Structures are given as C-alpha cells and as structure tokens.
Structure 1
Amino acid sequence: MPDALFADPRLAVLHDLFEDPARPDLDPYLVRATREPRARRVVDVGCGTGVLAARLARAGLDVVGVDPAAASLAVARDREPRVRWLQAGAADLPALAPDLEADLAVMTGNVAQVFTTDTGWDAALAGVARALRPGGRLVFETRRPAARDWENWSTATQHRDVPGTGHVTKRFELLDVTGALVTFRNTFDLAGTVVVSESTLRFRDLPELEGSLRRNGFTVQDVGQAPDRPGLEFVVEATRARPVTAR
C-alpha cells in the first residue's frame, strides 16, 4: 500500500509544494528519453504527481504514468491530460496494460527503494520487464548504502502558506535504521489538523541490484551517479535482455 504521503488526498496535493520546483534531479531522465535513439513510448513507474511524466509528454513522447496512489494520480491528471495515467503497481503492469511495448521505463526519487522485500522488488522488476519491448531500457536511481545519507537528512521544520488550507508545517523524524531498512516519519500540521505518514526504504548495494536485474530478464549496461547528488546514489541503466515469462 502507498504511504499516506502519496495516498492521502490532503497530503498528495501538498507534495510538490515541499519540493524544489526546478526538480534538477529529473533533467537526466528527460535527456535519456530524448537522446538518440529517441524513446517512442516511456513508462514512468511510481510517477506520483506526474512532474516527470508531464515533462516527457510536453517533449513529444508517448507517456504512461503508473502509480498505486489514487490521490497522487488525481494531481497528475490535472497536470497533463496527454499522459495515459494508470492506477497500478509495477507488478500489475502486464495485466492492466498488455499492449505497452515501451522503449523506456523510469523509476525516479525513492521508487526503487519502497520495495522492501526481495519478493516485492522481483515482482516489480518482472512487471516492468514485461512492459518493455525486447531491448527496451530501464533507468532508475537508488541511494548508495555506504553513503549513509540518512545521517544527513534535514530535520528542520518546513513552512508553507497554502491557499484554501492555511499555514502548513512539515516535520521530519528519522525513526529507525535496521540493516538495509531505514524508517522515518513526516508529520504535517494542516492549520491545526495533524496528519502523519511513516515510510520505510530499503538500501540495496550494487551486487544486490545487479543480481535482481539479471533474475528478471535485464542486462546492466551502465551504473553512474546523479549529477545533482554526486556520490550518494546509483543511477542504473539496464536493457530487457530476453523474453520474460509470467511468474
């Protein structure tokens, strides 16, 4: 189930207000999609409120935005009607959209890390693989465990004045680090109404990532880093290497 941060309509409409509006982290994905060979169809897995999917559509690409959180998709639909929006998890893709045959699938932000079990991550990768054409690419980012980035996450309270809601504050707390799992809480005060969202992310090392991709029909082509966060993340590009059978 999606975290309240994305699934609660009161929070989904606030998500972009607490992000950098320039979103420099998305620029490399737009470049990968539009460089030669240019992608014809792109699937944005875990598209959230649709910022990247909308940019891709405005660049002339055929875009499918996929997310399990209806509240986030409601924001996304208002952003860009040219995108085909699907309420689904990555593992559901072949059943809900068997005709995708995408050239490129992307997972930005923390999407790759919300799959905290091996079973869930394998199912997501297998679903994405079946949504790609043979030779199609998957590009995603995930934080490097060795960087221990959670130790530097800001706990400063953020403030926004939101039309129709009033003054909103957001507080962040790191709750637990156990092995590869990092759990944290975001607490929102919506002009007197408190809403809480707890999340857990899994930090996988590179051998784990490469092994899981191989198991699910991918060949790793490149492992780089995010230009705006050097040293903190893996940016992985893999291709669908062989036909993927249903599990």
Structure 2
Amino acid sequence: MHLGDATSQLLHTAGIFAVGFFMRRVGGWLLGRLGDRKGRKAALNVTVLLMSLSAFLIAVVPTHAQIGYWAAAVLLLARMLQGMSVGGEYAASATYLSEAAPPHRRGFFCSFQMVSMKVGQLIGLGLQILLQQTMSQDTLTSWGWRIPFIVDALGAAVVFYLRRSLVKTEAFAEAVEEAGQEKDRGTLRGLWAYRRTVALVFGFSMGGTLADYTYSTYMTKYLSNSAGLSRIDAALVSFVAILFGSVCFSSA
C-alpha cells in the first residue's frame, strides 16, 4: 500500500473520529438535561444503552464491498451515537459522583471517573495486543477487528445491569426543588450567565484533551505509520505509556 493510500485512510478515520468529539458536546447537553429532569440514573442508563448500540452497529456493519458507501454511513451514525454516549456519561457520572460523595471527599470520588477511563483504555489496548499476537494480519483485517466491539457491547450490557441499583441522591432532590424556582435552569440561556466560567472550562478541557489523546491515541498511529514500528510494537509502546502516565498521575 502506498503512503498516500495509508494517509488518506488515516484522514478518513480521523474525520469520523472528530465527528464523535463534536457529538460529545451534544450528548453532554441533551443527556445532562435529561439527568436534571429525570435523575442521574436515567441519564446514565441512556448513555450505556447508546454505547452498547453504537458498539454493536460497528461490530456488525457490512463492508464497503458488500453495501458500498452505506457502510461508511452506518459507521458515521455509530460514531455519532458513541460520541453522544461519552458526552452524556462524562456529565452524568461526574455529577452523580460529586452528589453521592461526602462534601470533603468529592475530589477523591470524582477522580475515579478518570481512573476508570484509563483502565478501559488499557483493557482495550491489551485486547488489541492479544488479538495481534494470536491472529494473522489477514484475519484481523477480515473479521478479527470486530471482536473488541462485540466485547464492548457485552460489557455495556453488564454495566446497564449493575446500574439498576443506583439511587437518587439528596443533592438531586434539592436541585429539583430549586429548579422550580429558576426558569432558565439547565438551558443554554441559563448557561450564558456563566459564560466566563464556561470559557475557562472549555480552554482547560481542550488543552488537557489534546495532550491526552496525542499520546494515548495518535501515538500508536504515528509509531506505525511514520516511525516504522510494527503495529504490535506500537501498541505495546502505547500500553506502557498509558500505564506509566496513569500511575504518575495517580501518584501526583
């Protein structure tokens, strides 16, 4: 395969990946409002259902040779659902953890959101390395790449079952009572009143996200496509880097 072909494929993949990031903002807003009205449990259940559905769609989508450009359309739809799920999950889980935690331990409780995300990345990379070690490249390209998404869909179903035991927090009950006194609560108009804070959060989030995905996601592509490492070695380097970074971050 020529470099131009590989670069084109990488750009197409990155484009679909970017759509998922845009949908995170949409999911955070829509599912955040759902959580404000129906409870954090409702929002968290919807996020995990969307994640399971999107992973299942990716796992079973036919190839381009079978249905043409409809394959790309299904993949795009799955990434949009996935992005909405992640955006809603961030908002709902962080809010639920902060509401359920004792006032003096909210930072500690909320840190588990980031820890669990890194654990998920390590599990995903570990599964990728396992498949690379046990399958040929042709098998991986043909159907082996679908296995992680099947595992993802099944894992989301298990999480949905576990979340049945979630209960409403006292903080949510107080928020519902206050919402009756604030007409713009949870709306974009109400958010505009805190535009300076929102701008600061956007700025910090953009910087942190750029740094995180550069070494945790793009580095694998760079090492295999530009630095000349094999895909197995690139995955191993990424696994060690994420593990080392997570340990250092947790220690700090």
**Is the TM-score greater than 0.5?**
no
- TM-score in terms of structure 1 length: 0.27
**Per chain length, whose mean CA-contact separation is higher, i.e. which structure has more relative contact order (CA < 8 Å, sep 6+)?**
2
Q: Which has the larger radius of gyration?
A: 2
- TM-score in terms of structure 2 length: 0.27
Q: Return the structure number with greater helix share.
A: 2
